[in-house]
Amino acid sequence: MRPVIICIVFVFLTATCAAQTSSNAPESSEVAASRIGILGGMGVSYVNAQDIVDRVNSSSGVAARVAEFKAAIEFFGGITIPVTPDWVLKLEYAYLLGSYTVNNSFFNSEFQFVVHMPMIIGQYVLVDGGVYNVKVGAGGGYHFGSYSEKFATVDDRFSGKGLGAVMDLEANTAFGESFYAYLGANLRWEFIGDLTNASGKSPGGVAASSATTLQFFSIGARLGFTFYL
């Protein structure tokens, strides 16, 4: 989790320094945040999906437990639309992928989760100095997730859906008039409900004491680009 924390601290320091220097920044006839932006990139999130962790630990056939927080890769893209000089609407889609591989003397176990996360986020422009901008926001969406497991004689896939919420912080710094580097950090809360397979059964079948969900909390960092039109 250390790289994520370092990146989040860096984004926070960038925002703080930008806010302190914005009064001395040269004025631009058309600051970036007042233009429509197209963004994309990738990141890493540390995910705490407690039901999935419990399922992995109960199914892998080994005494050692997997960590409660798991690194997952994220790909994202979106568009930002200025609403007022201080507010921006961001429409975003993110794809999150995480997996566990557990080896023992009897068999190898593979577990994977995938989450599709369309989001609507309202962002407040903290600073827009022309060659850089910093925004903070919050939003939500209706998300879709799947979980697959493969161990011993088991090979199955389950899916679920539910609401998700996010808080994000982003900083953009110019490489040119329209092309900007994107640095971001976020906190997510996912409420994807009961996972079921094609037969309507939960992981573990009738042996499961309760249904498995894909609810999780995550903290993440991102790198990418923003192109302002």
Hey, where are the domains in the chain?
Answer: 2-228
Per-residue pLDDT at 19 exceeds 50: no
Half-sphere exposure of 33 (CA within 13 A, CB side): 26
What integer pLDDT is reported at residue 182 of this predicted model?
98
CA–CA distance from 121 to each of 17, 85, 185, 212, 223 (Å)?
A: 24, 16, 14, 28, 18
**CA distance linking residue 85 with residue 150, whole number of Å:** 51
More confident residue, 70 or 205: 70
pTM for the predicted model, two decimal places: 0.83
Q: H or E stretch including 59?
A: helix 50-59
- Segment 184-212, tens digit of pLDDT: 999 999 999 999 999 888 887 544 557 89
Where does the pLDDT of residue 78 fall: very low under 50, low under 70, confident under 90, or very high at 90 and above? Answer: very high
Contact 53, 60 (CB under 8 A): no
Per-residue pLDDT at 83 exceeds 70: yes
Looking at the domain that runs over 2-228, which CATH code has it been given?
2.40.160.20
Contact 187, 219 (CB under 8 A): yes
Tell me which range, 10-14, 23-27, 38-42, 127-131, is most confidently predicted by mean pLDDT.
Answer: 38-42
